[in-house]
Every structure is written in structure tokens, then in C-alpha cells.
Structure 1
């Protein structure tokens, strides 16, 4: 049985989790092009080695970050997303003519 350490719930069976994709920094939503936004949303780097990924503990709907070695499938570390994402993103208000 493979165990993953959830930062909120402690060690749990890996079957309780779902993968949510690679962690990447969101581009500025007020100046990004459609092409860049599409790449951010849909493209993965698929790096061999240690990568940061989004994971969700399904029973509690708790999202967190795991560093996982994609070659060995070893989970190196898990931690709350707030360690990386600690600033609020401000979106520009849409004008009436763009709605």
C-alpha cells in the first residue's frame, strides 16, 4: 500500500487522492495573450525528475502541493499551497462594452 502524507489529514492511502496537474505560476490575467493563457491552462512540461504538482485529498476536498519524482514515483514532500501562493491575484473589472 502506498501512503501519501496529506498536510491537513496526515498519512493516508494514495487511493484517497487525485492528481491535479503541475504547479505553475499564473500569468498576469490583465496582460496575458490568449495563446499564453491557453499554454498555461493546457500544456504540461512533463519533466523527468522532481516536480511540484497539485493533489487533492478527495474525502475532504483539500488541495495541496506535492513534490514528486516522476522517474521513481517517490513523493519527496507535501505542503499547503499557501507556502507558494500567498498573495491575492487582482483581476481588472470588465467594462460594460466588453461584457
Structure 2
């Protein structure tokens, strides 16, 4: 798989590390244990479009987000870490 780093251009996947799902909102400190446990340990495992955070570890070392199809591995969007996720519908 090739990833298109927004800073360095196309590079092989082994130069990157996946940081997991992006856009997860941390619950408030007043939340109950069940809510906190769900935040820490449970993630969606979708079949289809999935927003992920990646770091170009062996390159520019910058973080960025991608929208990737988990079935085909097709990357439909690459966007900045502070940008809003583009539409998940293709």
C-alpha cells in the first residue's frame, strides 16, 4: 500500500505508523466508569470508509488523516490533522 503524505508525496506504507481512528471525542472528567471504559477500549471496526490518523515516522514525522476503505484499502481523501473529515460517501 502507498500513502500520499501531504508534505512529502507518495511513499510506501512501511514509512508510516497508524495512530488509530481519528475524530474521537474524549468524554468529560465527570463521566461514569462505563463511559470512560468505552472511550478507552472500544472502537468501531467498520467495513468501508474509515477515518484514520497516520504519522510519517520515517520521513517528515508529521501527522495527517486519511479516509480509507477497509475492504479495498483505497484511500479517498488525505487531509490535515485539524481539518474536518470530508464526506464518507463516495
TM bucket (normalised to shorter chain) is 0.7 to 0.9
Aligned to 2:24: 25
Greater helix percent: which structure?
A: 1
In the superposition, relative to structure 1, how do residues 8 and 41 fare at CA in structure 2: closer, same or farther (>3 Å)? farther
Query: Where does structure 2 lack aligned partners over 5 or more consecutive residues?
Result: 85-90
TM-score (norm 1): 0.72
* Greater Rg by CA: 1
The aligned runs of 1:54-93 (5 Å cut-off) are: 54-59=53-58, 60-84=60-84
- Deviant stretches of 4+, over 3 Å: none
RMSD: 1.9
Worse-superposed segment, 30-39 or 71-80 = 30-39
Unaligned runs of 5+ in 1: 85-99
Q: CA–CA distance in 2 between the matches of 1:9 and 1:37?
A: 37
C-alpha change, 1:61 and 1:39, in structure 2 (3 Å) is: farther
Hey, what's the Cα distance between the residues in 2 that align with 1:76 and 1:83? 15
Equivalences, count: 84
